[in-house]
Amino acid sequence: SQELEQSPQSLIVQEGKNLTINCTSSKTLYGLYWYKQKYGEGLIFLMMLQKGGEEKSHEKITAKLDEKKQQSSLHITASQPSHAGIYLCGADPTGTASKLTFGTGTRLQVTL
Amino acid sequence: KAGVTQTPRYLIKTRGQQVTLSCSPISGHRSVSWYQQTPGQGLQFLFEYFSETQRNKGNFPGRFSGRQFSNSRSEMNVSTLELGDSALYLCASSQPRNLADNEQFFGPGTRLTVL
């Protein structure tokens, strides 16, 4: 079965600093999803990457998928308190987007 | 467009009881997936229903079951509750038109506490 490993497990950054979260898969990915979760709440979709070498950006968040489609990174530029939460990467092993395998998550705190 | 809704939001049960959770997908979405989230195991896939049929299944015991109705609403049932079933249960709906549109929209979750 596919396993996803995220690093770091937790991160504390000062407001305005940049940060990167990594997600490594044990198998080639059909699709890689990034979600954000506020504690105890549902997941908010951030981005989905599908092609090797693909890069997508939304506001101050950029996600990349490597050429081999086994590693992805999520980069936040000039972090803000609103970026705080748990970031989860999810892999789509079946290509149906309906059975995602998730990483263990990265807890981000942004200090003032 | 209304998002994915889940009811109830919070639930407290005792060991041995059974529970039914409900999920209403986004209008027009025919796929509903269920996940269990716990601090120890993280977010794990339970099962997925598409057009009233279970299409995918995770590695959970038979005490966990689900169904989907003709209007795509879905329910999951857990029988003979155990303490370890305490978790946040999330459902997600999707209606992909092509691979690039594959996105799962998640509901707010039902927090189940088993005493």
Q: What is the pLDDT of residue A13?
A: 97
Cβ-defined contact of A96 to B100 (cutoff 8 Å): no
Q: What is the pLDDT of residue A54?
A: 93
Cβ-defined contact of B48 to A98 (cutoff 8 Å): yes
C-beta of residue A34 within 8 angstroms of C-beta of residue A77: no
CA distance, residue B82 to nearest chain A CA (Å) = 21
Asked if A85 is an interface residue toward chain B (Cβ–Cβ < 8 A), one would say no
Q: 3-class DSSP state for residue B59? A: coil
Taking the C-alpha atoms of residue B48 and residue B93, their distance in angstroms, rounded to an integer, is 9
Residue, of B39 and A73, whose pLDDT is higher? A73
Q: What is the pLDDT of residue A23?
A: 96
CA distance, residue A22 to nearest chain B CA (Å) = 17
Q: What is the pLDDT of residue A3?
A: 85
Which element (helix H / strand E) includes B64? Answer: strand B64-68
How far, CA to CA in Å, does A26 sit from each of A3, A8, A66? 5, 17, 14
Q: How large is the C-alpha radius of gyration of chain A?
A: 13
Confidence of residue B101 (pLDDT cuts 50, 70, 90): low
Question: How many helices (DSSP H) and strands (DSSP E) are in chain A?
Answer: 0, 11
Residue, of B65 and A40, whose pLDDT is higher? B65
Q: Name the percent of chain B lying above pLDDT 70.
A: 93
Nearest CB neighbour to B109, from listed A41, A44, A103: A41
CB atoms within 10 A of CB A97: 24
Written as six digits, the tokens of B35 are 């996940």
Q: What is the pLDDT of residue B62?
A: 95
CA distance, residue A40 to nearest chain B CA (Å) = 7
Q: What is the pLDDT along chain A (112 residues), one digit of tens a residue?
A: 668 999 999 999 999 999 999 999 988 887 899 999 998 788 999 999 988 889 999 899 999 999 888 899 999 999 999 999 999 999 887 776 678 889 999 999 999 9
Q: Tell me which residue has tokens 């996600």.
A: A63
Q: What is the pLDDT of residue A27?
A: 85
Cα A84 to its chain centre, rounded Å, is: 13
Q: What is the pLDDT of residue A63?
A: 97
Taking the C-alpha atoms of residue A8 and residue A21, their distance in angstroms, rounded to an integer, is 7
